């Protein structure tokens, strides 16, 4: 059983289109994330959700909108795609200790990634 799954694995689309990437985790975790990995392999946090509540929005353009319908899902919708959006997008999840700021951080488990190519 895949712990963190993403669909699709590959996404090729044209500039200006709108697309979505779905993420599901079956680990029972309460926190989910989206990361972007650029062509130089640099990984950067985009969003995190804890119990469906947005915790991090790391200066990501408004064209990116995450949606968490429940604790097990965190989808990423991208409007008006641009060339610079081409990257690999990783979903991740973790089981964090409460309350927030308690100072204990759990390891994050990553999905297989979605390679987005904008032409």
Partner 1 sequence: AQKVTQAQTEISVVEKEDVTLDCVYETRDTTYYLFWYKQPPSGELVFLIRRNSFDEQNEISGRYSWNFQKSTSSFNFTITASQVVDSAVYFCALSESLTNDYKLSFGAGTTVTVRA
Q: Tell me the C-alpha distance between 98 and 81, whole Å.
A: 37
When binding is defined by CB under 8 A, the residue of 66, 68, 89, 90 that contacts partner 1 is 90
Counting contacts by CB under 8 A, is residue 3 touching partner 1? no
- CB of 27 vs partner 1, minimal distance in Å: 12
When binding is defined by CB under 8 A, the residue of 42, 62, 69, 83 that contacts partner 1 is 42
When binding is defined by CB under 8 A, the residue of 60, 68, 108, 116 that contacts partner 1 is 108
Q: Tell me the C-alpha distance between 81 and 69, whole Å.
A: 23
Residue 113 gets the label, from left (phi > 0), alpha (psi -120 to 50) or beta, of left
Counting contacts by CB under 8 A, is residue 56 touching partner 1? yes
SS3 state of residue 85: helix
Counting contacts by CB under 8 A, is residue 48 touching partner 1? yes
User: By C-beta, is 12 or 100 nearer to partner 1?
Assistant: 100
Q: Tell me the C-alpha distance between 48 and 13, whole Å.
A: 25
Counting contacts by CB under 8 A, is residue 96 touching partner 1? yes
Counting contacts by CB under 8 A, is residue 93 touching partner 1? no
Structure tokens at 112: 């297989």
Counting contacts by CB under 8 A, is residue 33 touching partner 1? yes
- Write down the number of H helices and E strands in the chain: 0, 11
Counting contacts by CB under 8 A, is residue 72 touching partner 1? no
């Amino acid at each position: 059983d895949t712990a963190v799954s993403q669909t699709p694995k590959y996404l090729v689309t044209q500039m200006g289109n709108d697309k979505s990437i779905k993420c599901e985790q079956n680990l029972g975790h309460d926190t989910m994330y989206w990361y972007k990995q650029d062509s130089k392999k640099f990984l950067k946090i985009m969003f995190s959700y804890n119990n469906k509540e947005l915790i991090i929005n790391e200066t990501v353009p408004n064209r990116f909108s995450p949606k968490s319908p429940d604790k097990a899902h965190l989808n990423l919708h991208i409007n008006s795609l641009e060339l610079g959006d081409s990257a690999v997008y990783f979903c991740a999840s973790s089981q964090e200790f409460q309350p927030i700021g308690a100072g204990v951080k759990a390891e994050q488990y990553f999905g297989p990634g979605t390679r987005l190519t904008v032409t």
